[in-house]
Amino acid sequence: MNFSEFNINEENLDRQKELVLTTIKENIKKIDELLKLKNKTYKNFVRPLELMEEKIGFYFTPISHLNYVKNSKKTQEIYDDILPKLSIYHTELGQNEKIYLSLKEIYDKEKESLNSEEKKVLKDLLKEFELSGVGLKEDKKKKLKEINIELSNLTSKFAQNLLKATDSYEMLIEDFNDVKEFPKRDLEAAKVIKDEKTYYRFTLKQPSFIAYMTYGSNRKKREELYKAYVTRAPENDELIEKILILRDEKAKILGFKNYAELSLETKMAKSPGVVVAFLKDLASKSKPQAKKEFEELTEFAKSKGFDKDLEAFDIAYFSNKLKKEKLKVDDNEYRPYFEKENTINGLFRFLNRLFGLEFEKVKTTVWDESVSCYEISKDSKLIGRVYLDLEAREGKRGGAWMDEWVTHHIDENGKTIYPIAFIVANFPPSTKKSPSLLRHSDIVTLFHEMGHALHHLLSQVKEPMVSGISGVEWDAVEFPSQFLENFAYEEEVLKEFAYHYETKEPLSKEMIDKLKKAKNFQSAMAMVRQLEFGLFDILIHMGVKSSKEVQRVLDEVRDEVSVIKPPKYNKFQWGFSHIFAGGYAAGYYSYKWAEVLSADAFFIFVDSGIYNDEISESFIKEVLSKGGSRPAMESFKAFAKREPNVEALLKLSDINF
């Protein structure tokens, strides 16, 4: 593999599909040959298994990636066709008792001579096989296979329903009074001419939705848009039931009480009870301050002549006004200082100072003209490649994420294979009149996803199964990303890129200070909102099966944790793709769990002046370069020289308890 092979566009999809299907057949044949080996070793048996899996990912990733970022009838058809075939392949592989027994034999025979990476690979593989039902009777294996295929289909359908519902909705506003408070650039982005009339168009895509919820003067229109957002994809209600029933059945077949227990088998947290206690402890410490923040917002709204109860669709609107009045911070005033390209280049300069990384833009085939590609090096040595796809557009899944295409490893010929990552977001798109101007929250998102990418790209692990983010416990995956996002508020970092895109005037110290003060504006309200999601997720995966029970659990969690009670029509669960179409099922708590590690590590940097070569190199050596080759807690302790401090998270959020 070399970088000339790395092209992603729709024209290549049919070829990619054939390569996936051919590789599946070749792998099945190769496995039969490996099992015939009389003297199986790590080198002649385990390594080929690892590299086969890497090859499948190399060919399938362009298909899944395009399905998320450039969705079309063709991408959907090819993705839907391949998904069940891959599910069958992986299920049969994971239930192959001969492979499992061979791996056990190799581990028992070679465990004293294996290095730590190889040992971790074997331990992870054995655990994977056990969680795939390798020891089950044939009828149970067959049932598990059927469940896995059905779950793949259901979660894919959930995501597709959400994407279609998001793309199909629009709210057209004709009366200028309903948008009179809008910043000029957001107004331009929303303006459309239809039948020779001027309208303002708003959709359920994040930049558009957030803009109206923040600046929309017409409360009825705010509720109309909000209601459309929280009632998207009602057909997902039925899918949620089916997904939960199948996950519960799968867990019980594998010998667990519920899916939450199964999920935690590969995470740092030891039991669902530990997770619930962790989240409730944070909630009890955060809710008193969250109540005060909500009371302050209520009083502020009243002072502005608002004589109704504050509803969920009023929060962003009045919070923005309160922030402007109390902290003298107007998000819109900052956007001209955060032009997308300037921000990207400034982020690269920051990473050069922090970690000695160098970024060079390269020309290559991309799937959209707004996408850019960079090669990364350190000490003049190539590290890998990252693609940035940051602007919102039709046919692109909402939200932001990092995905890996190729993992750093050594191949069968002893050659270093360089890693490749994607960073995807949905920032305000550029127009003919204006470049893409970001909110500060977009900057935080960009830093966050770059943290994930660095965890993947800076790996020095030779074994692909535990390189980069592979093999990292799910509740530690967010550690490097949350760590990096904290720097988006630091003056020394903002100086690298925050200057007006037209006048070139730098962001003033006064504006930076205001931004820093605003960082924890309503932080306790934000904290309990995330705790609500995490508790809801873990509790429904402890045996809940019907949509009625799902709603009951959500209502109970909100009563206990939340300070904002949404309208009864709010069906947040229909759009909770993290747990019903992503990898966070019974794992959404991971954001807060990992944030303890990230907050603690961040303070170690800040307390020594941010740019400290010794600390930076230690973070690369002990955390980023180790990937999943050892438990995350070991990596943290090797860096910090101690256990993590839970109170660092509350300190970072400025929550007093």
Condensed to tens digits (0 to 9), the pLDDT of residues 310-340 reads 999 999 999 999 999 999 888 889 999 999 9
CA–CA separation, 527 vs 287, rounded Å?
9
Inter-residue contact 327 to 517 (CB < 8 Å)? yes
| Average pLDDT, integer, range 615-620 | 98
Q: Is residue 155 part of a domain?
A: no
| Average pLDDT, integer, range 119-136 | 94
Which domain CATH number covers 55? 1.20.1050.40
Q: Is residue 156 part of a domain?
A: no
Place of tokens 């909500």: 294
User: Which of the following is catalytic: 339, 449, 496, 595?
Assistant: 449
**In which band, very low, low, confident or very high, does the pLDDT at 371 lie, cut at 50, 70 and 90?**
very high
pLDDT at 332: 85
Please tell me whether residues 355 and 465 are part of one structural domain: yes
Helix, strand, coil percentages, rounded to 5, for the chain = 60, 10, 30
Please tell me whether residues 321 and 398 are part of one structural domain: no
Q: Is residue 215 part of a domain?
A: yes
| Average pLDDT, integer, range 560-570 | 96
Please tell me whether residues 492 and 352 are part of one structural domain: yes
**In which band, very low, low, confident or very high, does the pLDDT at 6 lie, cut at 50, 70 and 90?**
low
Distance of CA 635 to the CA centre of its chain: 21
Q: Is the pLDDT of residue 5 over 60?
A: no
97 in active site: no
| Average pLDDT, integer, range 116-145 | 94
Q: What is the pLDDT of residues 392-415, one digit of tens each?
A: 999 998 889 999 999 999 999 999
Q: Is residue 443 part of a domain?
A: yes
Closest among 240, 128, 228 to 579, alpha carbons compared:
240
pTM of the model: 0.84
pLDDT at 330: 85
Q: What is the pLDDT of residues 7-20, one digit of tens each?
A: 777 778 899 999 99
Inter-residue contact 70 to 398 (CB < 8 Å)? no
Please tell me whether residues 464 and 478 are part of one structural domain: yes
pLDDT at 117: 97
Q: What is the mean pLDDT of the chain?
A: 94
Closest among 124, 455, 117, 134 to 265, alpha carbons compared:
124
* 458, 484, 506 - which closes a domain: 506
Structure tokens at 600: 């603690």
Inter-residue contact 95 to 141 (CB < 8 Å)? yes
Please tell me whether residues 340 and 479 are part of one structural domain: yes
**In which band, very low, low, confident or very high, does the pLDDT at 1 lie, cut at 50, 70 and 90?**
very low
Q: Dump strand ranges (E) for 135-189.
A: 171-173
Q: Is the pLDDT of residue 122 over 50?
A: yes
Which domain CATH number covers 455? 1.10.1370.40
| Average pLDDT, integer, range 285-311 | 97
Structure tokens at 155: 């979660």
Please tell me whether residues 388 and 310 are part of one structural domain: no
Q: Is residue 44 part of a domain?
A: yes
Please tell me whether residues 261 and 403 are part of one structural domain: no
Please tell me whether residues 300 and 343 are part of one structural domain: no
Domain count, the chain: 4
DSSP 361-411: EE----SSTT-EEEEEEETTEEEEEEEEEEE--TT--SS-EEEEEE--EE-
pLDDT at 10: 79
Q: Is the pLDDT of residue 131 over 80?
A: yes
pLDDT at 566: 96
Percent of the chain residues past pLDDT 90, beyond the cut = 91
Which domain CATH number covers 295? 1.10.1370.10
Q: Is residue 594 part of a domain?
A: yes
Domain residue limits at 415: 336-506
* 230, 250, 265 - which closes a domain: 230
Please tell me whether residues 198 and 101 are part of one structural domain: no
Q: Is residue 68 part of a domain?
A: yes
Percent of the chain residues past pLDDT 70, beyond the cut = 99
| Average pLDDT, integer, range 641-652 | 91
* 449, 473, 506 - which closes a domain: 506
Q: What is the pLDDT of residues 445-502, one digit of tens each?
A: 999 999 999 999 999 999 999 999 999 998 999 999 999 999 999 999 999 999 999 9
Please tell me whether residues 524 and 621 are part of one structural domain: yes
| Average pLDDT, integer, range 206-220 | 95
Please tell me whether residues 222 and 285 are part of one structural domain: no
| Average pLDDT, integer, range 493-512 | 95
Q: How many residues does the structure list for the chain?
A: 657
Q: Is residue 152 part of a domain?
A: no
Please tell me whether residues 105 and 58 are part of one structural domain: yes
DSSP 91-109: HHHHT-HHHHHHHHHHHHH
- Helices 312-327 and 272-303 sit at what angle, rounded to 10 degrees? 70
Q: Is the pLDDT of residue 3 over 70?
A: no
